[in-house]
Amino acid sequence: MLYWFLKIILHLPIHLFWMEKVEGKHNLPKKGSYILASNHRSFLDFAFLSTAIHRRIYYLAAEFLYEFFPTRLVLTRTKQVKVPREGNDQAQTYEGAKRVLENGGILGVFVEGKRSHHNLSLKAYKGAAKIALQNKADIVPTVIHNSFHVWGMYHRVPRLKRICKVKFLPAITYEKMKNHDPGYIVHDLIMPEIARDLGHEYEHRTSKTKNQPVRAED
């Protein structure tokens, strides 16, 4: 209930002050479970994704977000999936993700694991791919444009610039992923497509052939 209340409250200001458009909705499965694998640049990215589609999204949320009472309250009440700090047992995270997907839900994953402080793609984590393989789920690479410029890591308050865009790229099906390891899926299938749409090259591919350099996003 709280999720839908927050979604309704946030929808108008998000689209009035920051979100210029949403593209690629035709690439989203009409029903059933799947994973949204997105880049991460801003405090507002959760809100951008949540207001971009009609269905509910359950996110993987970093453990440090639960240390602050307001965010802990929201994350707990909206049943997000906690991700322990690196090096700790991840079993509960994978179990939580499994429950979301088994129930036909959408799992949102910021594959870089944290916000980029320089507006370029960070080396991504393999979790999204592992979850997809374990649950035979498709992955929709998702690109959030320009959120770094409205409320990036070094901005104390958001800037009122209606320049952001959410774009859903063609889905990477389980059939395409099932014979590959998680590292290849993340570093050679997901992140290069996200980086290309942002206008730069992903520097952490495992294959020898990399993207051709393209113009960087302003």
Q: Where are the domains of the chain?
A: 2-198
What pLDDT shows up at residue 139? 99
Record the pTM: 0.92
User: CB-based contacts of 102: which residues, under 8 Å, 6+ apart?
Assistant: 33, 135
CATH of 2-198, one of 3.40.1130.10, 3.80.30.20, 3.40.50.720, 3.30.420.40: 3.40.1130.10
**Residue 144 exposed, middle or buried by CB count within 10 Å (0-12, 13-18, 19+):** buried
What's the CA gap between 203 and 218, in Å, rounded?
19
Confirm if 138 and 29 have CB atoms less than 8 A apart: yes
Q: How many CB atoms lie within 10 A of CB 149?
A: 18
Give the pairing type, strands 139-145 and 164-168.
Answer: antiparallel
What pLDDT shows up at residue 208? 53
**Residue 116 exposed, middle or buried by CB count within 10 Å (0-12, 13-18, 19+):** middle
Confirm if 47 and 14 have CB atoms less than 8 A apart: yes
Q: Along the 218 residues of the chain, how does pLDDT read in single tens digits?
A: 999 999 999 999 999 999 999 999 999 998 999 999 999 999 999 999 999 999 999 999 999 999 999 999 999 999 999 999 876 789 999 999 999 999 999 999 999 999 988 888 999 999 999 999 999 999 999 999 999 999 998 888 999 999 999 999 999 999 999 999 999 999 999 999 999 999 999 999 987 544 443 334 43
